[in-house]
C-alpha cells in the first residue's frame, strides 16, 4: 500500500470504530510499503492490515454527517 492508500484506510478504520495507525512496514524506508498497525511504536506494534480490510469490506462504512452550509442550486429537488 502507498502512504496515501494507508492513510485513507486508517480513516476508514476510524469511521468503522477500529483502531489503526498507518505507518511504513520498514521504518527506515518510508517510501516503501505501508501497512496498518494497532499502535505506532515499531517495537510493540501488530500488523492489522488484513483485519481492517476484511472489516471495511464486510459492511457499510457509516455515512458522514452532511454539511450544514452550502450552495443553493436553482431547480434542485433536494430539500432539508
Q: Is residue 68 part of a domain?
A: no
Tell me if residue 20 falls in helix, strand or coil: coil
74 inside domain: no
CA 19 to chain centre: 10
Residue 36 lies in a domain: yes
Is residue 21 within 8 Å of residue 66, measured between CB atoms?
no
pLDDT value at position 74? Answer: 66
Domain of 15 in residue numbering reads as 3-58
pLDDT of residue 34: 95
The number of folded domains in the chain is 1
pLDDT at residue 46, rounded to an integer: 94
What was the pLDDT predicted at 44? 92
What pLDDT is stored for residue 5 in this prediction?
92
Could you state, in chain order, the average pLDDT of each consecutive group of 10 residues for the chain (80 residues)?
92 85 91 92 91 81 60 60
Residue 35 lies in a domain: yes
Residue 26: inside a domain: yes
Q: Is 56 helix (H, G, I), strand (E, B) or coil?
A: helix
pLDDT of residue 54: 87
Amino acid at each position: 500500500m502507498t502512504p496515501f492508500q494507508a492513510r485513507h484506510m486508517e480513516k476508514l478504520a476510524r469511521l468503522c470504530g477500529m483502531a489503526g495507525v498507518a505507518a511504513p512496514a520498514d521504518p527506515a524506508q518510508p517510501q516503501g510499503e505501508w501497512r496498518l498497525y494497532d499502535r505506532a511504536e515499531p517495537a510493540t506494534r501488530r500488523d492489522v492490515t488484513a483485519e481492517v480490510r476484511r472489516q471495511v469490506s464486510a459492511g457499510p462504512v457509516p455515512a458522514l454527517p452532511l454539511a450544514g452550509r452550502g450552495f443553493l442550486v436553482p431547480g434542485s429537488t433536494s430539500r432539508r
